[in-house]
Structure 1
Amino acid sequence: MERPHPLLLVLLLLLLSVSAHSGDSTLNSRVTHSAETVLQMQAEDHTRLTYLASLVAGRSFVPIGSGRQILQSPTYVVKAKIGTPAQTLFMALDTSTDMNMVPCTGCVGCGSNKPFAFAKSTTFKSLECGATQCKQVQNTNCLGTTCLMNMTYGASSIAANLAQDNITLAIDSVTGYSFGCIQKAIGTSLPPQGVLGLGRGSLSFISQTKTLYKSTFSYCLPSFKSPNFSGNLRLGPIGQPKNIKYTPLLSNPRHPSLYYVKLVGIKVGPKLVNIPPSAFALNPSNGAGTIIDSGTVFTRLVTPAYTAVRDEFRRRMGRHAVVSSLGGFDTCYTVPIGKQVPTMSFMFEGAELSMKQENFLIYSSAGGITCLAMSASPSLNVVANMQQQNHRILFDVANSKVGISAESCS
């Protein structure tokens, strides 16, 4: 026999109490108030249960901060605990990089004032040349039995030892995690405290934690100006948003680690800009197409697409004086333009990235200049982190789809 709901039992007792004291009008009013209180208590219980459930679902939520505010670096960073005892590093999120890299003690040219002191970690281990992981990295060689890596990151050249140690981002400790322990760096592209590679390659964080997080993650990037860790990285399928629009995740054999998506159009204001489909086409021979990238700051569009978007933007801005250029930007204004700025949206197959002014305008302190924060690219469309600010971007690699929805996290 099915048991009655506990709340019904409470209400039944209250009603019996009313009946037993029906001649006392004062008591009647008190009982009526008590019944309302019980209902309110139940509502508050439901709210609390939702909160407690979120703690379970959110066990793999990792705060994201603006690297500009924390490290004076144009990246977004998370706190990662590495080694035993744990050492905290602010690692840059990078969806277009597979390898995880941290500057280690003694690194030449790293410029980090807080390298990973590997000698102090009791769980640190250098990987040998015969290790499976060493065979999964390009451009490796051996020093004795130690696996050495040579790679590029942006404009920097990096030499590192392939190593293993424990890493924790949320509360889940990943043991025997493989990464590059950087010994030498030439150039200035490397983030000060290393990189968390979120690409699709075999040694990326997502691949190494496949059993734990099911090849699924999402992030909301806060404003560059946000002083707090107000954004968040969600790891695993639990706790991901339910009402989110998806676009297919594509693969390009030329660059299998990148997150390609199908961009089908761009709106400036209500108008769908006239852009030839070839500007968005996926091309396996040269790697062309459109990627979503957390490490690039400003969106790049191939020249035919950029020219069409820029010209429509200028047309809608009217008679404002255009500055010929500022750095790499060629559409700038020297007068206040807030009211005249049109909206802008990137249209993907099945999803849309609707942007506010903060997503596509950059303001210079020199002379009060405002610029369209995009530029031309020779072959690849890159949806960059400025355009992604205050959006939830969900990467479901297992089901080959990317989710996009507006979300305030600044």
Structure 2
Amino acid sequence: MSLLALPLLAFLSIFLTPTTAVSSSTLQLARSHSVTPNAGAPLSAWAASVAAQSAADTARIVSMLTSGAGPLTTRAKPKPKNRANPPVPIAPGRQILSIPNYIARAGLGTPAQTLLVAIDPSNDAAWVPCSACAGCAASSPSFSPTQSSTYRTVPCGSPQCAQVPSPSCPAGVGSSCGFNLTYAASTFQAVLGQDSLALENNVVVSYTFGCLRVVSGNSVPPQGLIGFGRGPLSFLSQTKDTYGSVFSYCLPNYRSSNFSGTLKLGPIGQPKRIKTTPLLYNPHRPSLYYVNMIGIRVGSNVVQVPQSALAFNPVTGSGTIIDAGTMFTRLAAPVYAAVRDAFRGRVRTPVAPPLGGFDTCYNVTVSVPTVTFMFAGAVAVTLPEENVMIHSSSGGVACLAMAAGPSDGVNAALNVLASMQQQNQRVLFDVANGRVGFSRELCTA
């Protein structure tokens, strides 16, 4: 599917209906919800916009599995400061910047220059558009290094230069370190620099990031990105002595335009009652957050899925990751087929024609069963209807908001639990203690 349709992402917020707020008291919600579409509603623009996002998800999954991040610099347990840190407000980028990522306000440089940066747990290096960037969005703010008294370039031969993908040092040791990177359907060239970075009132001195010089493609977040992956130049690694390699987020509903979600940094202030599952480490994909998903329920019944399609295996690439940059959950083909068939069996209503990349759609009233992801450690995350179904603008069609992953290659074995299925939940990433946690929390306003 072509990514030339990506500008249609701006339509997604127009052609999707608002949802009802959900209770924050428990992960286990009602067993079924009623969906009453209005048959015959115009669907062409909505279907095109959803198809564009589906294509963007595919490109993202391919790029994050093929762009190496280098080995982790250390796996020693850090010692963070014993204090709570101010939460960082986050918002869906769809309404504000027409991107699928969630965003936060960042202050870069001295004096601080404000940018709305994407928060991406599956990437490492941070990068922002800099002055005179060729191919960057002309209508969006950029960072001016010359206007910051604390900016400096990172030289070739430095440890940081060795940690970026495809470093470039044509002028030799001591010159500015450059690097190339692929992000979804885009590629870019950047120069490595350092400056003061502030997320809310959390200030990091001499943060290392890429200053974008040349961008090709339209999937790069227009005001930059901060990577919260596990690699050496990620936010976690650069701030491990301050925040202890711990963070969590609560993602608001993607149709919201409010900064009502929060990113919490450090172990202090995280939920005390939260069920956790072990965090797994894949040496071939060291930046990604793997967990052991052991089963899926549709309604009260466990779906019959081959365990080989769920089992974590770094050699074959199989397993499950938590990702907030992909919008719709992608399941390995045999897993998705089993979930889809179980879902259709519970609904017991003929499906409508596929739309926007989704093959389980309805244009009549249906009762929507819950979907539960089951993880090692007796952790079960049950999704409410708003995390399961995507709706057309007038309610004409409602579709199961999941799809099958690629049919072949290393990506075919991967299950990606995406942002729509995480919204209005607190997801904890405790790398220091090797765990990921889930706790229901309403953060949509």
Q: Which residue of 1 aligns with 2:146?
A: 119
Q: Say yes or no: does 1:251 pair with 2:281.
A: yes
Bigger drift between 326-335 and 245-254 goes to 326-335
Give 1:150 deviation, angstroms.
0.4
Q: Secondary structure at the match of 2:271?
A: coil
**Quick check: which has more Rg, 1 or 2?**
1
Give 1:137 deviation, angstroms.
1.3
Give 1 or 2: higher helix fraction. 1
Q: Which 4+ residue blocks in structure 1 deviate beyond 4 angstroms?
A: none
Picking from 230, 233, 249, the partner of 1:203 is 233
- CA–CA distance in 2 between the matches of 1:235 and 1:406? 18
Query: Structure 1 residues 312, 221: CA separation in 2 closer, same or farther (over 3 Å shift)?
Result: same
For the Cα contact (< 8 Å) 1:58–1:234, is it kept in 2? Answer: no
Q: Which residue of 2 aligns with 1:70?
A: 96
Query: Structure 1 residues 322, 220: CA separation in 2 closer, same or farther (over 3 Å shift)?
Result: same
1:52-109: CA deviation from partner (whole Å, max 9, x where unpaired): xxxx965331001111122121110011110001011111111100111111111111
Q: What are structure 1's unaligned runs of at least 5 residues?
A: 1-55
Q: Which residue of 2 aligns with 1:375?
A: 403
Q: Say yes or no: does 1:306 pair with 2:336.
A: yes
Aligned runs of 1:108-187 on 2, under 5 Å?
A: 108-112=134-138, 113-144=140-171, 145-187=175-217
% same residue: 54
For 1:374, the aligned partner's letter is: M
Q: What are structure 2's unaligned runs of at least 5 residues?
A: 1-81, 406-411
Bigger drift between 91-100 and 282-291 goes to 282-291
Q: Secondary structure at the match of 1:345?
A: strand
Picking from 414, 417, 420, the partner of 1:386 is 420
Q: Secondary structure at the match of 2:237?
A: helix
Q: Say yes or no: does 1:326 pair with 2:333.
A: no
- CA–CA distance in 2 between the matches of 1:77 and 1:186? 22
For the Cα contact (< 8 Å) 2:85–2:268, is it kept in 1? Answer: no
Q: Secondary structure at the match of 1:146?
A: coil
| Structure 1 vs Structure 2 CA RMSD | 1.4
For the Cα contact (< 8 Å) 1:354–1:406, is it kept in 2? Answer: no
For the Cα contact (< 8 Å) 1:214–1:237, is it kept in 2? Answer: yes
Q: Secondary structure at the match of 2:98?
A: coil
What TM-score does the superposition give when structure 2 sets the normalisation length?
0.77
Q: Secondary structure at the match of 2:177?
A: strand
- CA–CA distance in 1 between the matches of 2:85 and 2:332? 40
For the Cα contact (< 8 Å) 2:102–2:119, is it kept in 1? Answer: yes
What TM-score does the superposition give when structure 1 sets the normalisation length?
0.84
For the Cα contact (< 8 Å) 1:221–1:388, is it kept in 2? Answer: yes
Q: Say yes or no: does 1:399 pair with 2:433.
A: yes
For the Cα contact (< 8 Å) 1:360–1:372, is it kept in 2? Answer: yes
Say which structure, 1 or 2, has more relative contact order (CA 8 Å, 6+ apart): 2
- CA–CA distance in 1 between the matches of 2:86 and 2:154? 28
Picking from 236, 246, 254, the partner of 1:216 is 246
For 1:125, the aligned partner's letter is: R
Q: Say yes or no: does 1:345 pair with 2:372.
A: yes
Q: Which residue of 2 aligns with 1:105?
A: 131
- CA–CA distance in 2 between the matches of 1:134 and 1:366? 51
